[in-house]
Amino acid sequence: MSTDTPSVPPGTEETPSSQNRYVEVEKTAEFANLRRSFRRFVFPATAAFLIWYGLYVVLSAYARGFMDAKVVGHINVALVFGLLQFVSTFLIAWLYMRYASRNIDPLADQVRADVEGGEAK
Amino acid sequence: MRHVDYVAMSPGATRTLTLSLFLVLVAATLAITIWASRQTRNATDFYAGGRSFTGFQNGMAIGGDYMSAASFLGIAGIIALNGYDGFLYSIGFLVAWLLALLLVAELMRNSGRFTMSDVLAFRMRQVPVRTAGSISTIVVSIFYLLAQMVGAGALVALLFGIKSGTTFLGMSTDVAKVVTIVLIGILMIVYVVVGGMKGTTYVQIVKAFLLMIGAILLAFLVLMYYKFNLSSLLGDAAAKSGKAEAFLRPGLRYGKDIVGNPTATLVSKLDLISLGLALVLGTAGLPHILIRFYTVPNARVARKSVVWAIGIIGVFYLLTLALGFGAAALVGRTAIVAQDPGGNTAAPQLAQAVGSHYFGDFGGSLLLAIIAAVAFATILAVVAGLTLASSSSLAHDLYANVIKRGQTTERQEVVVARYSAFAIGAVAIVLGAFARNLNVAFLVAVAFAIAASANLPAILFSLFWRRFNTRGATIGIYAGLIAAVGVVLLSPICWGGVSKARPAATLTAAQAKTCGVAPTSKEVSNATALFSCTTAAPIPLENPGLISIPIGFIAAALGALSSREKNEDKYAELEVRSLTGAGAH
């Protein structure tokens, strides 16, 4: 167990030169830019939805007075808050789709072309 | 046929209709499977459906794989009996998809090939990581599989009105449950062995379509009854529940305020938070969901398919609100509990009630039969996905990469995968038959907790943490797995005795008898505990997530830091490939 060395998954055998190509590309400014645009959206969005959901769960457990308040008819804050979780989930999914196709995909295509161009014999 | 005691819900006409629809469904799915088998030529076809599905198709299939009988029947039942608290499940199960969308789906599609362990083992030592990943894949899938099969057994017994003391086609309840479990087991083996991922995917698409149609139809009829006024539906549900406005607020089932007992109140609230945590973090670690990302041509289609899935699943869970509250209002607690104390038949009962209201007795029977068939399709699609996930991992991770160290042909791997589906299916049938009376919620909770505690830390650290390594992945997976299962084994789910944190429950005569105590006894907190009703649980939480998820993450991090193994070049390759799709399969 301790003696085997890192190996590549079967079917993905890389020639040393193609692996070097990935290492080179990872150091480029274009790739750093791609990684930054990806993380700039997904990390804050993940933190935001987890906090928003966590708030809902914690309020359900501890803020009964607030959650029980009537909004209109038999509809209370708890129901509205729950429905807002649906709204925020749909919204984040849609925003991410839009952001990714504008700000991530073009950069990814560029870097990918760079990797594959560099591999060309 | 021997004399049959008809119960109110299942007159003979309904049984015949339901049975006919079941048979049509089975015939249709088998035809799809055989058609799919003709298109399955190589390993990519078998494991990943040829990576040829569109975003919408895969989104539907994800929905079909994810919306289990537990969510269709279970959530509607929990809302029907406990009101608002059932909604917590719907929200957790949906919000969880953002984690899959933002952090997992695309990166996984780009860097993996057939299984979850492909990603974990990308830059690690193959043998230990794939072994750990495969064990956890199989354990999660088996727990989930058992939940579905046991649920199916109970459901079919209930739908055909087979109660203890009565028989159907000469079968008692127990025999009928076992027969159902065996038949479902055989069907899922056939889907997977013959149809592979292609067949399984189409079965899931058909199921998602039927489930959405069924839920939309039923919710529409319920809302029409209340003239599309949500408030009057809620008001009627609250009035009929006997709990008034409390029925519409959180706290009837989870996070209870137990007067005069601050310890029990605290534990009940922590349990709610623990459940919330496992629901939101479990999904992105479920192996049968993760392998769905491999069935599309590239990461962008994977993204699109998850967005479709979020739309489909979101709409479905919104409909469960109408179904659950509708059942509370139009069927009523007494009738639901009389049929099944767990509330799992609330949705079919609702179908019968609104069907009869609008279209007379035959309409009621027809709608009931349709919803029953939808529930049956739901179970079939989910069990097929689970069998495929575990047999893929057995063949691709354990056989091809651990035992044969990568020295096999694709053809051999697929042959092994088909035998594995037989083996997993057989194991599930045998375990399911033994576990036929277990609590379904328990099995699902364990599966989600293991996925969140064992798989998620390893996946996230593999994708995002340069310093992560073999030891971190293996220790994280094993620690999360053992913690999740261990906490459940020490929980009130297994030990039902009264303690400071777990107040006594009011027992029914039957429960008192099973537990061997007097009906007035104050020793029992959970009468459905697996091991003992009177011994107190060492850990008072029913949901292990709050304890086991931090253990999984911390163990993975400490394991990684304690090992000097580092492979900067492989991480660079993973980063570039996962973000660009270069070199993707």
Asked if pLDDT for residue A3 goes beyond 70, the answer is no
Residue B353's pLDDT band (boundaries 50, 70, 90)? very high
Contact B238, B404 (CB under 8 A): no
Q: Would you give the distance in Å from CA B9 to the centre of its chain?
A: 26
Mean pLDDT to the nearest integer, B165-189: 81
Say how far apart CA B200 and CA B380 lie, in whole Å: 10
- Please give, rounded to a whole number of angstroms, the shortest distance from the CA of A33 to a CA of chain B: 11
Chain A with chain B: Cβ pairs closer than 8 A:
191
> What is residue B580's three-state secondary structure?
helix
Contact B354, B225 (CB under 8 A): yes
Please, what is the Cα angle at B32 between B26 and B37, to 5 degrees? 125
Q: Determine whether the interchain pair A1/B125 forms a contact, defined as Cβ–Cβ distance below 8 Å.
A: yes
Residue indicated by tokens 């006594």? B504
Q: Model confidence over A37-82: pLDDT tens digits?
A: 999 999 999 999 999 999 999 999 999 889 999 999 999 999 999 9
Q: With a CB-CB cutoff of 8 Å, which residues 6-45 of chain A face chain B?
A: 6-7, 9-12, 14, 18-20, 22-23, 25-27, 31, 34-35, 38, 41-42, 45
CA distances from B302 to B209, B305, B355, B570 (A): 20, 5, 39, 24
Residue indicated by tokens 């799709």? B581
Domain ranges across chain A: 24-120
Say how far apart CA B48 and CA B115 lie, in whole Å: 9
CA distances from A18 to B39, B289, B573, B577 (A): 33, 31, 9, 12
> What is residue B528's three-state secondary structure?
coil
> What is residue B552's three-state secondary structure?
helix
Closest chain A residue to B567 measured between Cα atoms?
A: A6
Q: Which residues contact B287 (CB under 8 A, 6 or more apart)?
A: B115, B116, B136, B137, B140, B141, B389, B390, B393, B451, B455
Q: Which residues contact B566 (CB under 8 A, 6 or more apart)?
A: B467, B469
pLDDT for the residue numbered B1: 26
Q: Which amino acid, B39?
A: Q
Q: With a CB-CB cutoff of 8 Å, which residues 462-501 of chain B face chain A?
A: none
pLDDT for the residue numbered B257: 86
Mean pLDDT for chain B overall: 90
State pTM to two decimals.
0.92
Say how far apart CA B259 and CA B549 lie, in whole Å: 30
Lowest mean pLDDT among B9-23, B220-234, B528-542: B9-23
CA distances from B333 to B61, B79, B122, B233 (A): 34, 11, 52, 15
Say how far apart CA B177 and CA B158 lie, in whole Å: 10
Q: Model confidence over B525-572: pLDDT tens digits?
A: 888 888 888 999 999 999 999 999 999 999 999 999 999 998 889 999
Asked if pLDDT for residue A119 goes beyond 90, the answer is no
Burial class (CB in 10 A: 0-12, 13-18, 19+), B326: buried
Residue B131 touches chain A, beta carbons under 8 Å: no
Say how far apart CA B336 and CA B353 lie, in whole Å: 12
pLDDT for the residue numbered B8: 44
| Helices B262-282 and B85-99, packing angle to 10 deg | 40
Nearest 5°: phi and psi at B437?
A: -105, 10
Q: Would you give the distance in Å from CA B106 to the centre of its chain?
A: 23
Say how far apart CA B279 and CA B273 lie, in whole Å: 10
Contact B307, A94 (CB under 8 A): yes
Contact B391, B420 (CB under 8 A): yes
Q: Determine whether the interchain pair A73/B102 forms a contact, defined as Cβ–Cβ distance below 8 Å.
A: no
* DSSP annotation of A71: E
